């Protein structure tokens, strides 16, 4: 069933516009949260062990999240970061539904996006 055809065009435009606006807003807010995390971790590490602001590969991200979890076991900022990422994925899924993408494509974005957003948070507990 094509959900997009069940919704009138003006409503689809409004929903799509909200999604298009919310994706970069969540992205910018997640950048702010990540900077807060970086500042918090760097403030508690010796100068030679601090994380630089550039060149973030997968191994550096993993070390950073592990270090953050070690220093801040509650993980509040990581959960905020994951929630914002999940919000971006959710807005993308709604946008895809409203535009008329197929179920397989929507599920691929939904499942893949949530896994990618929550993997850094969950991987600190698997070590």
Mean pLDDT, residues 80-91: 91
Q: How far apart are CA 83 and CA 24, in angstroms?
A: 14
Q: What percent of the chain has pLDDT over 90?
A: 56
- What pLDDT shows up at residue 84? 93
pLDDT at 34: 94
pLDDT of residue 127: 57
Residue 71: the pLDDT is 92
Q: b/e map of 38-57 (b: 16 or more CB within 10 Å)?
A: beebbeeeeeeeebeeeeee
pLDDT at 126: 60
The DSSP string of 57-122 is -HHHHHHHHHHHHHH-TT-HHHHHHHHHHHHHHHHHHHHHHHHT--HHHHHHHHHHHHHHHHHHHH
pTM: 0.82
CB 41 within 8 A of CB 64: yes
């Amino acid at each position: 069933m094509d959900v997009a055809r069940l919704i009138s065009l003006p409503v689809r435009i409004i929903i799509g516009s909200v999604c298009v606006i919310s994706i970069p807003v969540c992205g910018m807010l997640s950048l702010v949260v990540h900077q807060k995390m970086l500042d918090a971790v760097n403030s508690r590490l010796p100068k030679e062990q601090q994380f630089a602001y550039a060149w973030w590969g997968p191994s550096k991200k993993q070390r950073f999240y592990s270090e953050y979890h070690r220093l801040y076991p509650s993980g509040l900022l990581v959960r905020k970061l994951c929630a914002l990422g999940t919000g971006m994925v959710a807005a993308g899924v709604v946008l895809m539904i409203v535009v008329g993408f197929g179920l397989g494509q929507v599920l691929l974005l939904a499942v893949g996006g949530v896994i990618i957003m929550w993997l850094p948070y969950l991987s600190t507990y698997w070590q």
